[in-house]
Amino acid sequence: MDITTQAQTHNSSGTRVAEPMRLAVIAGSNRHRRFGPVIVDWFLEHTAARDDFTTEVVDVAEIDLPTSFGPAVPEGAGAVAASLAAADAFVVVTPEFNHSYPAALKNLIDWHGPEWHAKPVAFVSYGGVSGGLRAVEHLRQVFAELHAATIRDTVSFANAHTHFDAEGRHRDPERCDAAAKGMLEQLAWWARSLKEARAVRPYAA
């Protein structure tokens, strides 16, 4: 059976449709009173409107990984590794701290290796005047080392607190909604292409 057939299912009318890909949305901050959940919830509204992804949130605030590395896999790491390994694509939601990304996010990334290989990674960033873009540029270098393909287009929120109301709704959503749509279109293309490529020939890191 070829990979196109394997990646398809049927709808109620019998028409073949592509099987949804698994998307892991990584909430990258564990700080007290973090603003990240507002951004994550906003982004999940966009993934929920699509039929080409099924989405799971991986929250660094809910993961207890040590900062020192040893031969033993820490308790609880297995479930996180399984979620990352099952994903066909990733979206990293990151703030910017001191011109870079959070330590907890780096720790999550560093505890895993093959889970990232030959998969696409997109970014949603937030922060002050830079909108978290300096954190994104650092993350691109890290994921390149891990054999992942980063998506060119990003979604960025400068001075993010001022753009959302008390219910977490963006006050002027036209531009950021369009940015999210464009980024997800690129991510879907890369996710589908790389998934099919991995099915034909396992990636050699």
Residue 12 has pLDDT above 80, yes or no: no
Residue 71 has pLDDT above 50, yes or no: yes
Residue 183 has pLDDT above 60, yes or no: yes
Q: List the CATH number of the domain containing 17.
A: 3.40.50.360
Domain assignment present for 31: yes
What value does the mean pLDDT of the chain take?
90
Residue 189 has pLDDT above 70, yes or no: yes
Q: Give the pLDDT score at 17.
A: 60
Domain assignment present for 71: no
Domain assignment present for 205: no
179 band by pLDDT with thresholds 50, 70 and 90: very high
Task: Select from 150, 97, 91, 146 the least CA-distant residue to 120.
Answer: 150
Boundaries of domain holding 105 = 3-66+76-200
Residue 67 has pLDDT above 90, yes or no: no
Q: Give the pLDDT score at 78.
A: 78
Domain count, the chain: 1
Q: Yes or no: say if 178 and 156 are a contact pair by the CB < 8 Å rule.
A: no
Average pLDDT (63-92) is 86
Query: What confidence tens digit (pLDDT) does each residue in 15-34 have?
Result: 456 899 999 999 999 999 99
Structure tokens at 124: 């949603």
Domain assignment present for 185: yes
Residue 3 has pLDDT above 70, yes or no: no
Structure tokens at 44: 């999940």
Domain assignment present for 142: yes
Q: Following DSSP, what letter does each residue of 8-75 receive, concatenated?
A: EEE-TTS-EEEPPEEEEEEE----TT-SHHHHHHHHHHHHHT-SSEEEEEEEGGG----SS--SSPPT
